[in-house]
Each structure stands twice: as C-alpha cells, then as structure tokens.
Chain A
C-alpha cells in the first residue's frame, strides 16, 4: 500500500488521468471478456463431430441442466469433452500470457517469454518427476511444476545479470542456456522410460490439451484468475520498474518485494499450465505484444488484457489443432508456435 500511495505522489499522475486509465481498463476488459465468452460458445460448436447448432446453444445457455433434444452422446461430447477442454485452453492461455506480460515488464525485455526463457521447460521437468515418482497423486504435478518453473526463473535471472545489467540479448542467451540444459535433462529422463510412455511424453511436451483432467481444471482456473488479479494489482509498480530498477526504487517501489511477487506468481501460472497441458509456446510473447500494440504499454491495462486475450488465443489455436486433420489431432503447441515464431522474428528485428 505504501508503494502505491508514494508512487502516486512522485509520478504526478493526476486523479483525472487515473480515472481515464481505469475507464479504459474497464472498457477494454469488458470487450475482451465479451469476445472470450463468445469464443467459448462458438468454439463449443466446432469439433471433429458435428453437433446440431440450436440444441447445443440451448443446452449451453442452460449450463448443461437440460439436454434440449441433444442425444446422450452429443450431450456428453459437448459437456464432458469439448467444454472442459475449451475451459482448460482458456486457463492455460490466460496464465501464459499474463506471465509473459509480467516477465516483460519486470525484466524490461520485450522478448521475455516463459517458453523461450526455459521456464516452461523447468515446469516440464517438475511435471515429469511428479509423473514418474508420484504418478497416482495428481496434485504433485502442479506443485512440482511450480517448483521447477521457479528454479528455472531464478537461474535465468541470475545468469542474465551482468555488470551492464540484464540486456535483452543477455537474457535471451541465458534463456537459451537454461532451455537447452533442461531439454537434455528431459531427453535423458525419457530415454530411461519405457517405449509406451515416451510416446505420450513427446506429444505432451509440444503442448497438448487432449488429456484434460477434470480434477486439475478447477485448480488451473483458480490459479489463472488469482494470478492475473495479483499481477494486475502490482501493475503500477511494474510501470515504474519499466523505468529501471534504480529509478523505481527512488520512486518508492519496493523492488525486491515486487520482483519476488512477480517471480512467484508468474512461476505459479506457468507451473499450473504446464502441468495441465505441457509446454505451449509463444503465447506469452504474441498476446502481450498485441495487447500493448493496441492498448498502450500501461501494465494496468495490458496485463488484464493479456490474460483475457491469451485465453482467447489458445481457445482458437486449440480449436484449429483438434479440427484441422479430424478425427486425428495435432498438439496445440504446434499451432501457437506456427503463429508465434514469425512474430518473434519480427519483434527481434525491431528491438
């Protein structure tokens, strides 16, 4: 609380301007939330199996309480398979985009992204350990994924800090080092596993939402919403941090505490999404940039906008992944990378 009140004084942002920002945040988030809801409904109507549109809409409107003339199988497809997967896609997308936006602000680096920094790989190693040693205990997966993501975050952060501070190039190099190191750990562990489990792992590593676990879904959604709110509350401090840690400190930001909160929350977001769906890449890069390009770089707007936009992005990407070669499926990570990699190149040229 001290942070925000003191910073208000120093940044000299008049109350009127604050109200404008608030109004802009509310309007853009309301629009995005509307689009997200629309996407959830529309994408529920698309899949490898054809469902009748009107009864499906009616059943969705009743929140699954009345079948509205859908057969038992159609009802199960809609509510047991499609909708949980779409909701998980939303949670994963929201988590990764929020984490990406927060990393970019904190590290003052437009290329910071959970997947590219090796943080997703850290979470993946944690999940693998959970699957191998505690296969039956489901909650160990997000817990160890979170631990892995946190360790990878600290490793990258320490490696990136040079005498000249963490330059974008240094950060990306540190990310490459951590990523490749953890990739070899993953390769080593998969080599020790038997052949049948390898197949499921290689698919999962690319980011795959088909194994939606109903018991992890509520946890993933809670973490996404909670994490996005927590980071939005720190948005003002992140705005000041974008001026540089030194300046932010002079302006009254508790730099160490904010950094710790962002690392913890972002690792939690990445950990829960990786535990649920593997490493879906580039979401944390594409979405925050689009949010900033269209709404400006104020984190009070761009972080919640990235959360909603990320959910939207992965829902659409996963719908493509599950329908483009139906009834076969692609991993959603292949689709997000297909969109994200070219954008990354474009951004790299502008940095």
Chain B
C-alpha cells in the first residue's frame, strides 16, 4: 500500500516537472495587459467561455479544443468536447488532467483567482475582454495567432467586417432608434457603458437609452426605465437561455415601444456572446429597428 502511494506520488512529481512542453518562444499581451508566454505550437487548448469556443472553431482549430464549459453549445461539434464545468466553477483538476498548453478565459466569467492557480501549474492563461465589436475582432485575431491560424482568423475578421459595413451602409441614413435593452425583467438589468452590446446596438442603427450608465450590466431603476421612453425594446431570449426573459418588465408595459408593438425578441446567443455570431446579432437588430432599409 505504502509503496503504491509512494510510486503515485513520484509519478506525479516527475510528471509535473515535465509540464512545460516545447520551447517557449512567443510572448503575447492579452486584454488584461498581461504578457503571456506561449509555446510555439499549441495542440491542446481549453476554452472557458462559449464565445471563445465559437472563435476556436471559427478559426479552424476546433480539433485542438480539449475542454469546454457546459455553456459551450455551439457549433454542434463543440458538444462532443470534454466538459470541465460551468463558466463560474470549472474543475481545476479536470483542466490539469486534460494537459492543455493554453487556457482561454473571458473576464466576463470572472475567473481571476483561477488564472493564478493555472499559472502555478505552468499552463498559459490568455484573457480576453472585448468591450465593443473591434474588441471581438481582436479576440479572434489573438486566438488565431495563439493557435497558428493567423491567416484564417484574418479572413474571418475581414468577412465579418464586410457584413458589419453592409449593415452600416443600410442604416446610416436613418435616424437612430432609441432602444431599451432588457437583460432581465425581475430584477431589472440592462446594458451600460462597458457592455459590448451597447456598441452592437449603435452599429445596428440604434442607440441604447442606457449607454451612459456606468458598468457593463447595471441593475437599473424601474422608474428611470419608464422615464427613458424607448422607441424599441430588445429582449435577448430564445437561445440557450430558453424562454426566460420573453416578457417586458412591468415599468415598460406602457412605453411607446410596447404600445407600438416594437418589442423584438432576438437570440440571446447572438447578443450575449462576444464571438463571430455577434454580427448575426447586429443584422437581426438592424432588420428589426429599420425594416424599410432592408426591403428589396
């Protein structure tokens, strides 16, 4: 028994010593301003956020994804990748057991302490923190560079930029629609200054009535919501969140938007995930806010 325990202990230590695999030759600065040392060739990567999983697949490196969170459900192939827990409490043990060379983290999942623990295990951690569409493009380029898919990432960004430009061309002549973006009805949450959705709304020919509120996802006063008198209300719902958030909050029942039937349900996965599908979100919002601009 003792011998067995000793043997395992030794196996563990020797394994740990061999952890830094391959030469460390690259240093990239992530969105948190950290200088991250990366192996030249990355064969094993774990994503701890659904948007990052989507980006890994979109740049053509899905086959190198060895771990994902339970919320990472797109594309369909992602579901066959090993789960390491949810975005809030992933299992450190399972992550280490999967021997990733890089772990991709989104600050929105608040895993700062985790980062420290992974670094102690000699696993590189790369943090992304997009606050607008350009930030999403930067995340795509970073992930592409980390995984040696720079060219594909570049092409993807270019394609997405063209789609964004096409929307902009259609809506730029229209007066922006004043939008209330309801993250949840009870308690009432909306998007503030730091949320990347605020930028998506602007690109879709709208203007968020809460664009100046500090923070990314502020809890918002009902009476202030009523006083904003939005022309349109966007309910992110129907995606992986299911039917939650499909009714307008009480305070906005009598708003111009609700009275004129300008309440739009848009797939929350396209709006809440700063990944490639954010462009789908922009297109869907633009069509809802400016239907006449999209008539043939």
Contact = CB atoms under 8 A, between A and B. Distances in A.
Contact of A328 (B87, B219, B227): B219
B273 to A, nearest CB: 12
B223 interface: yes
A214 to B, nearest CB: 8
Contact of B226 (A76, A194, A326): A76
In terms of DSSP, what is the predominant structure of the interface of chain A? helix
Contacts of A199: 184, 189
A289 interface: no
Given A80-B250, A327-B221, A49 B187 contact: no
B223 A195 contact: no
Interface string A192-221: 001111111001100010110000000000
Interface string A171-207: 0000000000000000000010011111110011000
A195 B222 contact: no
B86 interface: yes
Contact of B186 (A47, A76, A200): A200
A73 B187 CA distance: 21
Given A73-B226, A199-B189, A327 B220 contact: yes
A328 B218 contact: yes
Contacts of A197: 244
Nearest to B272: A196
A48 B219 CA distance: 13
A141 interface: no
Contacts of B223: 47-49, 77, 81-82
Report the interface size class on chain B. Answer: 20 to 34
B227 to A, nearest CB: 5
B267 to A, nearest CB: 14
A48 B221 contact: yes
Contacts of A198: 88
Contacts of B87: 195
A73 B220 CA distance: 17
B261 to A, nearest CB: 19
B115 interface: no
Interface string A73-116: 10011001110000000000000000000000000000000000
A251 to B, nearest CB: 49
Contacts of A254: none
Contacts of A195: 71, 86-88
Interface residues of A, number: 28
A322 interface: yes
Contacts of A329: 219-221
Contacts of A196: 184, 241, 244-245
A47 B88 contact: no
B64 interface: no
Nearest to B71: A195
Contact of A210 (B71, B188, B218): B188
A81 B219 contact: no
Contacts of B290: none
A203 B219 contact: yes
A73 B229 contact: yes
Interface string A310-351: 000000000000100011110000000000000000000000
A322 B223 CA distance: 10
Contacts of A211: 186-187
B230 to A, nearest CB: 12
A200 B224 contact: no
Contacts of B189: 199
Contacts of A328: 213-215, 218-221
Nearest to A201: B187
Interface of A: 47-49, 72-73, 76-77, 80-82, 191, 194-200, 203-204, 208, 210-211, 322, 326-329
16 contacts: A47-B221, A48-B223, A73-B226, A80-B250, A191-B89, A194-B244, A196-B241, A200-B184, A200-B187, A210-B219, A210-B222, A211-B187, A327-B210, A327-B213, A327-B218, A328-B218
Given A48-B223, A81-B223, A328-B220, 7 more contacts: A76-B254, A80-B250, A195-B86, A208-B187, A327-B213, A328-B213, A328-B219
